């Protein structure tokens, strides 16, 4: 059994859904960040898969894109974790349900 584009896409979709569920449903801010990370990786996987299986005049575009996403995601993760630390210091919690200052 050979591994085709569909398999990569299914894995990517499952990963993305899991990440989305985490980001929307988890109360823990760090878990939410992990969900977001998962979604990044799902997207990266999809990019690489398309880049591998679809013929194009610029075959490396998908790979380059992924490298950029990983870089930006690293920066994002650092910022977000710093936010989490500060949030914990100020509010004594990292439960996102309690962070509703924009309410009404």
Partner 1 sequence: MLLPLGSFGVITLVSFLGLTRDGSWSPRYSGYLTIAAIFVAFALSLWALDGAIDADGARVGFDGHKWVVVGELDVHIGITLDGLSAIMLVVVTSVSLLVQVYSQEYMRGDGGYNRYYAFMSLFTASMLGLVLASNIVQLFVFWELVGLCSYLLIGFWFYKDSARRAATKAFLVTRVGDLGFLIAILIIFSETGKLGIGDIHEAAIAGAVGSTALTLFALGLFAGAAGKSAQFPLHVWLPDAMEGPTPVSALIHAATMVAAGVYLVARFFPVFAESDEAITTVAAIGAITAIIASLLGIMATDIKRVMAYSTISQLGYMMMGLGVFGIVAAIFHLFTHAFFKALLFLGAGSVNHATGTFDMRRMGGLAKYMPVTFWTVFIASMALVGLPPLAGFWSKDEILSDAWDDRPWVFVVALIGVFLTAVYVGRMLFLTFGGEYKGGEESEHGEPGVHSEPHESPTLMLVPLVVLAVMAAVAGLVNIDDGLKTLIEGWLPRESEELVTHGGFQWWIALSSTAAGLAGLGVAWLVYGARVVESDRVRHIAEPLPEILENKYYLDWLYEEFFVRGLVLGGAAWLLSLWDRYVIDGAVNGVGTVARWSADQARLVQAGQAQLYASVMLIGVVGAIAGILIIDPK
Q: b or e along 62-96 (b: 16 or more beta carbons within 10 Å of the residue's beta carbon)?
A: beebbeebeeebeeeeeebeeebeebeeeeeebee
Q: In the complex with partner 1, which residue's Cβ is closer, 25 or 72?
A: 25
Give the interface with partner 1 as residue ranges (CB under 8 A). Answer: 20, 23-25, 32, 96-97, 99-104
Q: In the complex with partner 1, which residue's Cβ is closer, 22 or 49?
A: 22
Q: How far is the CB of 35 from partner 1 (least distance, A)?
A: 10
**Contact between 19 and 36 (Cβ < 8 Å):** yes
Q: How far is the CB of 84 from partner 1 (least distance, A)?
A: 13
Q: How far is the CB of 36 from partner 1 (least distance, A)?
A: 10
According to DSSP, residue 66 is labeled H
Q: In the complex with partner 1, which residue's Cβ is closer, 92 or 100?
A: 100
């Amino acid at each position: 059994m050979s591994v085709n584009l569909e398999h990569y896409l299914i894995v990517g979709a499952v990963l993305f859904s899991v990440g989305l569920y985490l980001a929307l449903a988890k109360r823990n801010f760090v878990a939410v960040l992990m969900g977001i990370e998962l979604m990044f990786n799902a997207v990266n996987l999809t990019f690489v898969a398309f880049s591998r299986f679809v013929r194009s005049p610029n075959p490396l575009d998908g790979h380059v894109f992924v490298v950029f996403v990983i870089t930006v995601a690293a920066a994002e993760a650092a910022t977000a974790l710093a936010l989490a630390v500060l949030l914990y210091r100020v509010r004594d919690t990292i439960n996102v349900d309690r962070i509703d200052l924009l309410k009404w």
